[in-house]
Structure 1
Amino acid sequence: MTRTTNRLPFGLQFGDRILTDADFAHDLALVADSIDQLTDTLEVLKEEAAKVGLKINWLKTKIMAIEPPGPVSHPDTITVCGTLVEVVKNFTYLGSVLSNDGSVDEEVCSRISKASSIVGRLNSLWRMPHISRRTKMRIYNASVSSVLLYAAETWPLKSTILKMIDVCQTKQLRRIEGFRWDDFVSNARLLTLTSQVPFSVQIAQRSLRWFGHLLRMPTSTPARIVYDFDPKAHGWSRPRGRPRTRWKDSLDNFLVMANIAVDEAPHLAADRSAWRSQVAKLSTPHPMRQEP
């Protein structure tokens, strides 16, 4: 990648910094300002990879354009190095579904589907009377919660998505406990009985813990560069229409719930113990139905 960037400048500019790629093992995610710039970069990458005996798998290569609000059309395929490369609206990278509109709807639905599938495959275990509830909940947290909440600390979430995730959790717990709809067991009682924390609360806590790590990072790290970037200061303007939900918007709500002022967050995050203690006091993101 270093040889590629030296030969052909590309990437997305954030102020005086340019982000060119996100790499993990043999997976590469190139960032470009336009389709033309991206195709030129892929051609150079192919040439540099061939020099060290590597080849690009064009069947696994996808192109995704980040869409502004409003109707915008792109071709279904783009020719790169004589090969047709598919243009997609979302694709899976490092286990997470990325969408061209920045939403996590597809990712959340995928996570719920995978978690529900695991609950179904373990159905015989849930029905075993000689296995204690405590053991079942430990298995649930290890095999189901971990799958559904994978990378949830990075999701920009709306209240409807949070509610959908909580509904999924209570349905799963009712199935594990063997409760029917006519048993009239409230969500509050169910969570108390199983010693579970609502997924929406867990997501809020995870987001704030990750935010604390982010604030302690050096300002030169890519994640910190993106977070600190001020679009208005560099001539960017918000497009017409309703603004999309950003990770910062979700974070602001979680900070309010944890009684943390935005301007005081950097100072508080510098003390890991104090930050951890404050995050632990987080209240539920939306009211749960209480016992009558």
Structure 2
Amino acid sequence: MEILTRINLASAAFGRLGTRVFLNNDLKYGTRTAVYLAVCISTLLYASETWTPYKRHSQMLENSHTSGLKRILGISWEDRVTHEELYRGSNTTSIETMLAKRHLCWLGHVIRMPDHRLPRQILYGKLSHGNRSAGGQKKEI
């Protein structure tokens, strides 16, 4: 699955930068968060404009996102911090909000495309054939 691959790649990127950036006490939280958004979240949400995620996929992405933020901010499970407090403290938003923003940006991009471009033709296209007859299933006698 694409989403599991994205989560694995983002956590690998987080691990590579962990000791030098995210767990470095010489860097401010704003700098750590900016690097996290630029590297890990970009990796996590790469090509997400084309996804149609189910609720379980959004939850998996959200869990990955919040665990990364908690590690950056040094918050453990014992601290009982809500997600809203976590996002406020790190000056970020939820994955669901990021996905919605990316979908809307892509839709705006497609709407502004010339008529001959394939994504626009698909968005505004109609089925060439496929009219269904009225009524339900036919009963066998």
Q: TM-score, normalised by structure 2?
A: 0.85
Which shows bigger deviation, 151-160 or 109-118?
151-160
Percentage identity across aligned positions? 31
1:117-144 deviation line (CA, Å, top 9, x unaligned): 1111222132221210011011111111
Corresponding letter in the other structure for 1:109: L
Structure 1, unaligned stretches of length 5 or more? 1-105, 238-292
Greater percentage in helix: 2
CA distance in 1 between partners of 2:5 and 2:70 (Å): 21
Name the count of aligned residue pairs.
131
Tell me whether 1:176 sits opposite 2:72 in the alignment: yes
Q: Distance in 2 between matches of 1:145 and 1:236?
A: 43
- Structure 2 contact 13–39 (Cα < 8 Å) conserved: yes
Q: Decide which of 27, 30, 34 is 1:138's aligned counterpart.
A: 34
Instruction: Give the letter for the 1:188 counterpart.
Output: E
Hey, what does 1:153 align to over in structure 2? Answer: 49
**Segments of 4+ moved more than 6 angstroms:** none
2:122 to 226, 231, 255: 226
Aligned to 2:8: 113
Deviations 1:177-217 (A, max 9, x none): 22111111111111110001112111101111110111122
- 2:64 and 2:126 map into 1 onto residues whose CA distance is 36
| Partner of residue 104 from structure 2, selected from 200, 204, 208 | 208
For 1:236 and 1:108, locate their aligned partners in 2 and report how far apart those are by CA, in whole Å: 35
Q: Does the residue aligned with 1:153 lie in a helix, a strand or coil?
A: helix
Task: Please list every run of 5 or more consecutive structure 2 residues that lacks an aligned counterpart in the other structure.
Answer: 133-141
How far did residue 163 of structure 1 move? 2.0
Bigger Cα displacement from structure 2, 203-212 vs 117-126: 117-126
CA deviation string 1:90-129 (max 9, x = no partner): xxxxxxxxxxxxxxxx111111100011111222132221
Q: Which has the higher contact order (CA 8 A, sep 6+)?
A: 2
* Kept after mapping to 1: 8 A contact 2:7/2:44: yes
Superposition deviation, residue 236 in structure 1: 6.8
**Deviation of the 1:230 alpha carbon:** 2.3
Backbone CA RMSD of aligned residues: 1.5
With the length of structure 1 as denominator, give the TM-score of the two structures.
0.43
